[in-house]
Amino acid sequence: MGRDTLSAMPPVNIRRAQPEDAPATGKICYEAFHKINSDHGFPPDLPSVEHAVNVMSTMFGHPGFYCVVAEEGGRIAGSNCMDERSPIAGIGPITVDPGVQNRGVGRKLMQAVMDRARERNFPGVRLVQAAFHTRSLSLYATLGFDAREPLSVMQGPAIKKRLEGCFVRPAGPEDLDACNRVSVKVHGHHRGGDLADSIAQGTAAVVERHGRITAYCSSLAFFGHAVGETNLDLQALIAAAEGFGGPGILVPTRNSELFRWCLANGLRVVEPMTLMTVGLYNEPAGAYLASILY
Ligand SMILES: CC(C)(COP(=O)(O)OP(=O)(O)OC[C@H]1O[C@@H](n2cnc3c(N)ncnc32)[C@H](O)[C@@H]1OP(=O)(O)O)[C@@H](O)C(=O)NCCC(=O)NCCS
C-alpha cells in the first residue's frame, strides 16, 4: 500500500477493551485466525465465532488480563490481550480484521500492551506465534522479540496409561506452593496466577513421585501449560489425560525424547509454532509444555 493511500486512512485509536466489545472482537478473532490458517492449509485454532466471543469475554472481564481494542473511524479493527496473572506477562490473542491488515494496526496493538508491561515492570514478556505466519513473525521480531523455541501443537486420542512410579491426581489449592516451586526450579519464575485459576476450574493435575510433587499441568490444552522435573513426569500427565483441549498441547520440538514419545503414543502434529520472548528468559532446566499464551 502506497504512502498516499495510508495517509488517507482514518486514524487508529487504541483504548481499553470493555466486556461489550467481545462480540465484535470475537468475530474478528475467529475470522483472522480462520483466514491465516486456511490460507496455509491448517485447521482453524478456534472452532466458531461463539467460541472466540467467549474467549474475548472471559479475558476482557478478568482483572488479571489487560486487553485493548483498536478503532479506526469509530469501527473496531482488532484487539489484543496480555495475561498479567504471573511474574512473566503473556501476549495474545492479537487479531486484526482481515480487511484492514498490513497497514499498522497490529503494531499499535502490540505497542499498547508492551508499554503497559514496561509501566508495570514485568521483567519479561512472551508470546506464541504461528510459525507459518511471516507477517506476525516479522512484526514481533522488529518489536524486540527473540525466537526461542520451536513448538509442535499435538493432538490425538487419549492415551489412558499409568506410568510406573508416577501418581497423577487432580490439583487442589493446597498444592499451589509445591507446583510453583517446580516452575521456579525449571523456568526461574512461577505461573501461579494461571495455575490458581485452573485449580478453581478443576482442570489442573499434579504428578507425585516418591511422595512429592514433581510436575503439574494447569490443563492439557492449547490454553494450558505444564512443568515437570523430568520428561517422565510430563509423560505421566499426558498419558493420564482424558483428552487434549482445543487444537492440542504445545510440545517443545527440540525436546526430542518427549516429542518422539508423543508421536509413538499416537499424537499427530497439527501445526508448528514458535515461542518468542523479550526481557528475562532462562533456558528451562527441566521439561515443559507451553500454553498458547507462552
Ligand atoms: C498478525 C496481525 C495481528 C498483524 O497485524 P497487522 O495490522 O496486519 O500488522 P502491521 O501492519 O501492524 O505490521 C506488520 C509488519 O510486518 C511487516 N511485514 C509483513 N509481512 C512481512 C514479511 N513477509 N517480511 C517482513 N516483514 C513483513 C510489515 O511491513 C509491517 O511492518 P512495519 O510496521 O515495519 O511496516 C494480523 O496480521 C492478524 O490478525 N493475523 C491473523 C491472526 C494472527 O496470526 N495473529 C497473531 C497470532 S501469533
C-beta 34 within 6 A of ligand 1: no
C-beta 134 within 6 A of ligand 1: yes
C-beta 105 within 6 A of ligand 1: yes
Q: From ligand 1's centre to the CA of 289, what distance in Å?
A: 26
Q: Cα separation of 163 and 189, whole Å?
A: 28
**Quick one: pLDDT at residue 93?**
97
Written as tens digits, the pLDDT of the chain (294 aa) is 554 555 667 899 999 999 999 999 999 999 999 999 999 999 999 999 999 999 999 999 999 999 999 999 999 999 999 999 999 999 999 999 999 999 999 999 999 999 999 999 999 999 999 999 999 999 999 999 999 999 999 999 999 999 999 999 999 999 999 999 999 999 999 999 999 999 999 999 999 999 999 999 999 999 999 999 999 999 999 999 999 999 999 999 999 999 999 999 999 999 999 999 999 999 999 999 999 999
**Quick one: pLDDT at residue 10?**
84
- Which residues make Cβ contacts (< 8 Å) with residue 29, sequence separation at least 6? 46, 52, 55, 56, 79, 93, 95
Residue nearest to atom 19 of ligand 1 (CA): 135
CA 164 to chain centre: 31
